Structure 1
Amino acid sequence: MKKVIISFLFLCSVLVQLKAQDVFQTRGFCIAAPSAKQLNTFIKFIEEELAPRKVNTLVLRIDFNYQFKSHPELIDGGALTNQDVKKIVAACKRNQIRIIPQINLLGHQSWASTVGKLLKVYPEFDETPHVKMPEKYEWPNADGLYCKSYCPLHPDVHKVVFDLVDEICDAFEADAFHAGMDEVFYIGDDKCPRCSGLNKAELYANEVNKISNHLALTKRQLWIWGDRLIDGKTTGIGAWEASMNNTHQAIDLINKNVMICDWHYERPDQTAVYFAMKGLSVITCPWKNVNNAVAQTRDMINFKKAATSTLKPRYEGMMQTIWSGADSFLAEFYGQKGTSENSEVNCFKALFNEINQTK
């Protein structure tokens, strides 16, 4: 009798686990690649923190923090070697974690007063060369400068960026690639000799599709952030978590196999439903607000429960995002510096506690 009861309890636990896994096909964690000196700590974090929480997807923001052979001129100082990358790959394989590398494409080609590596080496790719980087960055500013973009119609830009994409996907043995593409404020600029006067939504959609189609040649999927596909004016969500320059109309023009990472940090806005109803698979992404992360997780459960059989598979799951950098996050996680109630560390813990309690 005792064996029967134990077997029954074990079966129940398996069913609960399967149910949680069915709701959250993607249980993701997004963070910048660690520095070489923190590589072992990062692998320890994968083994001892991500794996026990049943994280199954790691989006690793690489940008130029890799020793590219195809374009060594674009390597940042202290970049990871291929040997370093293979250590991360091995740790993820041991724990059935899918790795998706990210390089910011289109937007985020500068930060504050510093031009990023791509435009520094290839200034001809700049969508807005007339906008000069300030000595001291402030927002708002007369140029509307947040981050620079590359011109999607420059005839040489894709040869360079696709070399990087292919190499980093090969290095990580990845079946998907995250292109970023969030917070694109500069697109179709009036002074651009190629883009001036063109429809911004079409420019954005064409760039998404160009990247998606390139990845499809090697049977890889494109992931992007979803903010540029939301109408910031109609929704009232605004210019950061949605678009105020009309790129939102691209939602009806992009390939339906593109994965949308729908991030909302200030409020738990329920735009996942919008993406699903447009035929796109979607993952909800919190940052550091604990209450929002819990609410967003419960929303995802409810969306899936209430959805039609057609919509249900499009609600893919949740992904914690970390923006402080891997080294800083690890220092906070392991108690080497202080934390607050609403922090990335506490949000991460709360999110996966909520996911793993799903019944």
Structure 2
Amino acid sequence: MFNCWGHASASRVKYGRHVVLDQNPRLAPWFEPDGWTWCLSNPQTRSLLCDVCDELIDWAGPGKYFHIGCDEAYSHATCERCRQADPVALFADHVNHLASHLRRRGRRAIMWGDALLEQGKWPAGFSATSSAEMPTHRAVDRLSRDIVIADWHYGVTQGEVPTLAHFRRLGFETLACPWNTAANIRTLSRAAQTSGSGLLMTTWHHLAQCIPLLAWTANCAWSADQAALRLAQCQGPLLRTATAACLRRLVPAEGRFERAGWNAFEQPPEAD
């Protein structure tokens, strides 16, 4: 995944090779004034994002999909040039251009769905960032149906997930996307099964925290009653030790704990 709309600031602060984006004022027009969102009216931005996607595809090797992000773009169309454009059309054209570019590379685009959901129209806990001031949900009719919608709702812990059916009625394939609580994972896994959607577990944390939840997600994905394995069985020294052993086979760690995929500041007590 590469964030091609919101979360643009990570391109400047996370990676040393991109520090020039923070220190070269000539590149400021690539971003909205607050730096959080890419400027979609700048053709250089579009060119850069396509180049980054190409580089990541070449690095990752064969595949069918590419996640373009596109969530939480709170400062969309706030620069002088973007304010002169239709913000909904600007967003839709940007996403369709990326999807078309990826299609030529043999990949289908995946995007987050929050910008396509209107605030106040969905139950509490659902991720919807389209608003009256910035009605990006109106772009949904303009988007290519080749795009897969990754429907993320980290605060939903029980009941139905009607947004999956909403997107599917509009002609999109969908992924239910939980995060970091057992109830959230269980609820969205069940919703994926009943709606015919895929399931995409998100891991916005260090590997050591995510491993138990990955095991729990796998259990929820294949277990008919989602009760064959309790979350407690996915935790503790046994799982961490087994995970470290697996990682050592996958990653040549040469005896270094952190090179096996762990965060050295969260070393479990049973580690050597």
Q: What amino acid is the match of 1:157?
A: T
Q: What amino acid is the match of 1:127?
A: E
Asked if 2 retains the 8 angstrom alpha-carbon contact of 1:290 and 1:346, the reply is no
Residue 158 of structure 1: CA displacement?
A: 2.0
Instruction: State the Cα RMSD in Å.
Output: 2.5
| 1:110 equivalent among 3, 9, 30 | 9
Structure-1 separation of matches of 2:21 and 2:171? 35
- Residue 154 (structure 2) pairs with residue 274 (structure 1): no
| 1:208 equivalent among 84, 89, 95 | 95
Task: State the match for 1:323 in structure 2.
Answer: 204
Query: In percent, how many aligned pairs have the same letter?
Result: 26
Structure-2 separation of matches of 1:197 and 1:236? 34
Residue 283 of structure 1: CA displacement?
A: 0.4
Task: State the match for 1:151 in structure 2.
Answer: 39
Task: State the match for 2:255 in structure 1.
Answer: none
Task: State the match for 2:56 in structure 1.
Answer: 168
Give a deviation string over 1:120-140, Cα, whole Å, max 9, x none: 252221222xx4xxxxxxxxx
SS at match of 2:120: helix
Residue 108 of structure 1: CA displacement?
A: 0.5
Give a deviation string over 1:185-216, Cα, whole Å, max 9, x none: 11121xx2321143322211111001011112
Higher share in helix: 2
Residue 264 of structure 1: CA displacement?
A: 0.5
Using CA pairs below 8 Å that are at least 6 residues apart, which structure has the higher relative contact order?
Answer: 1
TM-score normalised to the size of structure 2? 0.70
Residue 184 of structure 1: CA displacement?
A: 0.6
Residue 222 of structure 1: CA displacement?
A: 0.7
Asked if 2 retains the 8 angstrom alpha-carbon contact of 1:175 and 1:219, the reply is yes
Residue 240 of structure 1: CA displacement?
A: 5.1
Q: Which runs of 5+ in 1 are unaligned?
A: 1-101, 132-146, 305-314, 333-343
TM-score normalised to the size of structure 1? 0.54
Structure-1 separation of matches of 2:147 and 2:91? 13
SS at match of 2:83: coil
Structure-1 separation of matches of 2:21 and 2:91? 19
Structure-1 separation of matches of 2:126 and 2:183? 23
Structure-1 separation of matches of 2:153 and 2:95? 21
Q: Any residues of structure 2 matched to 1:289-300 within 5 Å, and which? A: 289-300=181-192
Give a deviation string over 1:104-159, Cα, whole Å, max 9, x none: 11211126x9588484252221222xx4xxxxxxxxxxxxxxx6112111021222
Structure-1 separation of matches of 2:73 and 2:125? 13
